[in-house]
Structure 1
């Protein structure tokens, strides 16, 4: 026989109560578990955000540290480079690659033992005065070595100028080394052959030589050599 409506409602309530009892949970318990699950999910999300924030912060710190290290390295390299004390532009202060440079100074001549140190410097030779008629030998520094003999090879430094105006035309100093030649045997001009024999080693003498005892007075016959009276200052450094 079908149940009455009131009986049916009682039965439904009994069935739901029975189901709840069979499941062991009440509606309040289910809601609490759902709330707890939601709270747990929120906490997990919050923890994840915090971890991400920490990771981002660490990355930022690392980037800043790298930048600081790079600046320190650049500054160190700048400090290691030579500074321009004058503060001028290095490219402006440096000499141009193709700029002409002064030739190196010739080495000082090897002087004989006990020689006057003045023989180590090129002398200043001036023009003569008056008319030169004969060979004139004027001692300027007296050497203490042996006297030069005819036929010996002598080593000299010399400066040659025109007697009248003092203009230089030849110098062993400009060549950077002394000249060696036999003396008294016609290998040099007569004024040298006659004027240097008997001069002691270590001496500096002035030779005033008339044109006929030098290269002559005729430019056409001189072959480009200096003509007329000449003046030489000669240092006798050795004789063998």
Structure 2
């Protein structure tokens, strides 16, 4: 091959190499531009999201309920009971409305020697049987002076426990089995069927309870 032909071939190869290099450079430039455009779009979206979040936070400062998409309570939804007052108990169907109020319990008279069960309100529900779990509201006072020592009303919730199986004092086990649901009864309990002499910080001596039987199952 002549030198002239070899020179032309070298020039052609150089031109081809230069064209390929130019194509690669142009492709790389297009890629850089595409990435730059994508980054710019992401940045714009990020700015918009930040603005919306800030606006949403400012708009939600006035009402957490509105920020959560719920309506705030109207005055008619507010419990009319005084602040701190315990909620009214849920009464059995057909129960006397008086069971919705705490009873006034006074001292007994004379010496108490045996269990006495006095119906104050007659319920219309089924009779309590031994082994059932009952729900009650109650007030407990010392029989001799009427001083209160315990009350589910003051705790704001009824007491639930098994009855007739030795889980409560004997005066309750014996006095509440057979009482109908929806009743209010007065239990006058001698010390030996209650807490005895009151050892361990328990109320000692004869006791009086007024118990509302709200449920049994």
Calculate the TM-score normalised by the size of structure 2.
0.62
Q: What is the Cα deviation at residue 103 of structure 1?
A: 5.4
Secondary structure of the 1:228 match is coil
Which residue of structure 2 lines up, in the alignment, with residue 141 of structure 1? 121
Which residue of structure 2 lines up, in the alignment, with residue 131 of structure 1? 111
Instruction: Report Cα offsets for 1:91-134 as digits up to 9, x if no partner.
Output: xxxxxxxxxxx851111000000000000000000000000000
Which residue of structure 2 lines up, in the alignment, with residue 155 of structure 1? 135
**Which ranges in structure 2 are unaligned for 5 or more consecutive residues?**
1-81
Which residue of structure 2 lines up, in the alignment, with residue 54 of structure 1? none
What is the 5 A alignment of 1:55-204? 104-204=84-184
Q: What is the Cα deviation at residue 173 of structure 1?
A: 0.2
Which residue of structure 1 lines up, in the alignment, with residue 211 of structure 2? 234
Instruction: Report Cα offsets for 1:175-206 as digits up to 9, x if no partner.
Output: 00000000000000000000000000000000
What is the 5 A alignment of 1:210-225? 210-217=190-197, 219=198, 222-225=199-202
State the aligned residue count.
136
CA distance, structure 2, for counterparts of residue 204 and residue 179 of structure 1: 14
Secondary structure of the 1:223 match is helix
CA distance, structure 2, for counterparts of residue 112 and residue 125 of structure 1: 22
Specify the structure having the higher radius of gyration (Cα). 1
**Which ranges in structure 1 are unaligned for 5 or more consecutive residues?**
1-101
CA distance, structure 2, for counterparts of residue 132 and residue 112 of structure 1: 32
Runs of 4+ in 1 over 3 A off after TM superposition: none
Calculate the TM-score normalised by the size of structure 1.
0.56
